[in-house]
Amino acid sequence: MADIKNEVLYRVYGVLALIVLVAVVLFGQVVKIQIAEGDKWRRQGDKKVKFEKVIAERGNIYSEDGKLLATSLPFFEIRFDLNSSAMSDKDFNDNVDSLAYCLATFVDNTHTVGGYKQLLIQQRAAGERYMLIKKNVTYTELEKIEKFPLFNLGQYRGGFIVKRESKRDAPFKMLARRTIGYVREGANKVGLEGFFYEDLGGTAGKKLMQKVGNDIWIPVNDLTEIEPENGQDLVTTINVELQETAQTALVRALNYHDADYGCAVIMEVKTGAIRAIANVSKTDNGKLYEIYNHAVGDAVEPGSTFKLAPMMALLDKGAVSLEDSIELEEGRTTFYEEIMEDSSPHGLEKATVRRAFELSSNVGIAKMVEAAYGGDGGAIEFINQLRKYNLHLPTGIQIEGEAPPFIKEAYNKEMEWSGITLPWMSIGYEVLITPLQLLTFYNAVANDGQMMRPYLVSEIQDFGVTTRKYKPTVIKKSIAKPETIAQAKSLLEGVVKRGTARKLDTDRYNFAGKTGTAQIDYRKFNRQRTNLKHRASFVGYFPAEDPVYSCIVMITNPRQNGIYGADVAGPVFREIADKCFATRIEMHRAINSYAKPKLVNYELPAMDIGKNEEVNYLLNYFKLPHENRSASDWTVLQAERDTVLMLPRDLSDSVIPNVKGMTLMDAVYVLENLGLNVIASGVGKVHHQSILAGTKAKNQTIKIRLN
C-alpha cells in the first residue's frame, strides 16, 4: 500500500511541477508581451482595430404650437464586404446572379445585370471588403436593399454593411432660419442649434472598427459597443403663423423699397416670449434670404425710436411736464457750431412738449435734455437714468451672438465724449443698441414698467417628457415711476393719433409706437447731403389699452418709395398688427368683460325695414305692441306713442327702391334682383344709397353705406 501511495504522490508532484513550469512559461510570455514588447503590439493592434464615435441623433426643435422647425432625417450608406470571413464561395455563387439583377434594376441602372455580376466577381477576386453600393439611402430604400439575395444573410455571411448618417432639415425652410441656426464643422455654432448644442446633441456612442485596407475601416459587428443617447427636443416660443406674417411683410417691404436688409420681432408683452423673429437680407444676386440675425447681432444707432428714453428721463426727473412750451425754432438750431435739424419741416416756432414728441422734433427733444442735464455733472445723472432702463445691458437671449449695447460714460474722452454728445444722444445717435434690446425697453413700458427678459425656448423634452422648463423672467420690477410710464404711454399713443405715424392709424383697434429715421454714418455725410443712407424703424405695441404684443421693425438703406420710418417700417408693423388682430383670440376682450350698457329709456324700433312676415314674427316674439297696416311683402316700422305701426313698403320691379333702414342682406337681395351691381361699406343698416329711389333700374352700380 505504501508503494502505491508513493507512486500516486510522485505522479501528483510531477503533474504539479509540469503545471508550475507551464505557468512560469506563460507568465514569462505575458511579461514579455506586455512589458518588453508591449509598445510594439499595441501599435500593431492600433493599426488593426479602433473605437469609432457613433454620433447620437440630434433632438427636434418645435414651435410653441407643436410644429416641427428642425429635425434630423436619417440617411444610410450601403457598403459590401465581398470577402467577409463568414461568406462561403457557395453562398456567393448561389446568390450573385440574383443580387446583380436587384442592384442593376433597383439601385444603379448605369450597369447591366451582366455587367454588375462581372463587377461583383472581379471585386471579390481583388479582395475588396468595402465596396460602395449607394450613398444617401433613405430608410424606405434600406428596407428594400437589405432583403436582396445574399445581403439578407447579414453582415458576416452576406457582407452587408450599413453606415448610418443624418442630415439636419428645416421643414419651413427660410422661416426663422437664422434663429433656429445650424452646426457646421469648422464654423461657429449659430442660433438655437448652437446655444443648446449639448442638449440637442445627446451623448455619442462607440463602435469597434477593423481596418481592412488603406484607411478603410469596417464595423467588427452589427451591434454598437456603447449605444448613443439621443438628444433632447426643444420647444420654442415661436409661433409659425406669426413668424410667417412677420417674414412675409418684411420681404414685401424690402422688395418694394429696394432695401439692403431688415428685421422684425414680435414679443409677448406679459411674458417676454418671442413669438416671431424675422431677419431678411438681400444677397449679391438680388435674392432675399435669412443670412444674419440682425435683430440680435446688430448694435446700431437707432435714431428717433430712442427718444422715448430721454423723454422718460426728463419726466422721471420732473424737469418738464407734457403741456410745457418748448422753442422749436422752426426745426433748426445749433449746438457748439453743429447744426441740428428736424427731419421733416413743420415751421413751428414753439410747441408743447407733447406735440414736440409727436412730431419727433430733434430740436425740441435735444434742447430739453440740454437744459435739464447740460450743467455741471448733469450728464452723469442722464447716463444713470438710461442705466435705470437697462439700456446699457444685453438681454441675455438664448442664442449666441448678441451684440452688447454701447452707452457712453459721461465726460469720458476715450469714448469720444464731447459738447455735442448729450444733445445727439437724446435723438438716438452716439449710442448703439440692437433692435431686440430696444424692443425689450418698449415692452417694459407696455407692461406698466415691468421689464421681462426675452426668451426663445420654453422647455426641453425627452421623448415628450419635460426635463427642463424656462419660465418668464422679470429683469426689473419697475424701470420708472408709474406716472412716468403712464405719460410715456400717452405720448406713444399720440404719435399714432396725431404725430408722425398718424397715417398708420386705424379705427379697428388702437396701437401705440414711435417712428425712427436714422442717418447711417451721419458724421461722414453731415457736410454734404449726397449718397445718404438711412435706417427706418417703428417700434410699439398693440392694442394700446391692454397690450398683448410689442413689435419692432427695422429696415436698412431703403432706396425707393420713401426713407422714413412711417413710410417704410410703419406699414410692416401695421400689417403684422392687423393680422394679429384678425387671427389671434387673445387680442380680443370677452364680450361679457365690458360694462353693461345703461339704457336711458325704452325706445320702440323705428325706420327698420324687412319682410312683413318676419318683422311681424319678431314683434310678437318680443311682445312689442304693434299694429300691422301693411298688405305688401315688405314693411317699414314707425313708432307712434306706445305702439309700433307696420306700414307698407312697395318695391317696384323697374325702379330703384328706397333701401334705407334695411339690413345688408335684405338690401343686396332687393337690389341684385333688379339687376344692379351692389358695392357696400360699413356695418349696421343702410343709411345712404348713391342712386336716388325712383330712378329707373338699368343694370347700374349702386353704392350703399351702412351705419
Of all residues in the chain, what percent carry a pLDDT higher than 90? 50
pLDDT bracket for residue 597 (50, 70, 90): low
Q: Which amino acid is at 61?
A: I
Q: Give 459's contacts (C-beta < 8 A, 6+ positions apart).
A: 234, 235, 466, 468, 469, 470
Whether the CA torsion 154, 155, 160, 165 is positive or negative: it is positive
| Domains contained in the chain, number | 4
Whether the per-residue pLDDT at 599 is higher than 50: the answer is no
Q: Is residue 314 part of a domain?
A: yes
Q: Is residue 79 part of a domain?
A: yes
The pLDDT of residue 441: 98
Q: Are residues 257 and 189 in the same domain?
A: no
pLDDT digits (tens, 9 = 90+) for 162-179: 887 778 888 887 788 888
Whether the per-residue pLDDT at 510 is higher than 80: the answer is yes
Q: Find the mean pLDDT for residues 607-630.
A: 82
Q: Are residues 189 and 72 in the same domain?
A: yes
Q: Are residues 111 and 188 in the same domain?
A: yes
411-to-377, 383, 431, 433, 696 alpha-carbon distances in Å: 9, 10, 14, 20, 81
**266, 275 in Cβ contact below 8 A?**
yes
C-alpha cell at 599: 339704457
Q: How far apart are CA 209 and CA 307, in angstroms?
A: 65
Is the pLDDT higher at 469 or at 214? 469
**Other beta carbons less than 10 A from residue 44's beta carbon:** 10
Computed on alpha carbons and rounded to an integer, the radius of gyration of the chain in Å comes to: 40
pLDDT bracket for residue 542 (50, 70, 90): very high
Q: Are residues 155 and 252 in the same domain?
A: no
**626, 594 in Cβ contact below 8 A?**
no
Q: Which amino acid is at 254?
A: L
pLDDT digits (tens, 9 = 90+) for 637-660: 888 777 888 888 777 778 888 888
Q: Are residues 315 and 205 in the same domain?
A: no
Is the pLDDT higher at 275 or at 182? 275
**332, 340 in Cβ contact below 8 A?**
yes
Q: Is residue 103 part of a domain?
A: yes
Domain termination residue (choose one: 553, 587, 621): 587
Most confident of 44-48, 137-141, 623-627: 137-141
Of all residues in the chain, what percent carry a pLDDT higher than 70? 88
Domain termination residue (choose one: 587, 622, 645): 587
Most confident of 159-173, 454-468, 509-523, 613-627: 454-468
The pLDDT of residue 611: 83
Round the average pLDDT of the chain to a whole number and report it: 87
C-alpha cell at 272: 417676454
Most confident of 115-129, 469-483, 640-654: 469-483
138-to-143, 251, 262, 434, 554 alpha-carbon distances in Å: 9, 35, 38, 43, 42
* φ, ψ at 587 (rounded to 5°): -80, -10
Q: Find the mean pLDDT for residues 145-164.
A: 87
Give me the CATH number covering residue 126: 3.90.1310.10
Q: Is residue 112 part of a domain?
A: yes
Is the pLDDT higher at 189 or at 339? 339
Q: Are residues 306 and 333 in the same domain?
A: yes
Give me the CATH number covering residue 631: 3.30.10.20
The pLDDT of residue 525: 46
Q: Find the mean pLDDT for residues 262-274.
A: 97
Is the pLDDT higher at 420 or at 618? 420
Q: How far apart are CA 354 and CA 487, in angstroms?
A: 10
**556, 520 in Cβ contact below 8 A?**
yes
Q: Is residue 324 part of a domain?
A: yes
The pLDDT of residue 52: 65
Is the pLDDT higher at 159 or at 263? 263
Establish how many alpha carbons lie within 13 A of residue 175's alpha carbon, considering only the half-sphere containing its beta carbon: 23
Whether the per-residue pLDDT at 86 is higher than 90: the answer is no
* φ, ψ at 157 (rounded to 5°): -75, -30
**Other beta carbons less than 10 A from residue 230's beta carbon:** 17
Q: How far apart are CA 8 and CA 6, in angstroms?
A: 5
Q: Is residue 41 part of a domain?
A: no
Q: Are residues 437 and 546 in the same domain?
A: yes
Q: Find the mean pLDDT for residues 506-522.
A: 91
Whether the per-residue pLDDT at 3 is higher than 80: the answer is no
Q: Find the mean pLDDT for residues 128-149.
A: 89
The helix/strand count (H/E) of the chain reads as: 23, 29
* pTM over cut 0.85: no
Whether the per-residue pLDDT at 600 is higher than 50: the answer is no
Q: Are residues 229 and 333 in the same domain?
A: no
Whether the per-residue pLDDT at 522 is higher than 80: the answer is no
Is the pLDDT higher at 594 or at 607? 607
Q: Find the mean pLDDT for residues 284-288.
A: 83
DSSP secondary structure code for residue 186 in this structure: T
Q: Is residue 44 part of a domain?
A: no
Q: Are residues 14 and 145 in the same domain?
A: no
Nearest Cα residue to 328 out of 301, 373, 306, 358: 358
Q: Are residues 249 and 163 in the same domain?
A: no
pLDDT bracket for residue 546 (50, 70, 90): very high
Q: Is residue 527 part of a domain?
A: yes
Q: How far apart are CA 461 and CA 199, in angstroms?
A: 10
* Domain encompassing residue 137: 52-233
Establish how many alpha carbons lie within 13 A of residue 548's alpha carbon, considering only the half-sphere containing its beta carbon: 14
Is the N-terminal amide bond of 219 cis, ω within 30° of 0?
Answer: no
Indicate the range of 20-24, 99-103, 234-238 predicted with least confidence.
20-24
**548, 478 in Cβ contact below 8 A?**
no
Q: Are residues 27 and 133 in the same domain?
A: no
Q: Are residues 31 and 70 in the same domain?
A: no
Q: How far apart are CA 454 and CA 197, in angstroms?
A: 20
Burial of 210 (0-12, 13-18, 19+ CB in 10 A): middle
Domain termination residue (choose one: 524, 555, 587): 587
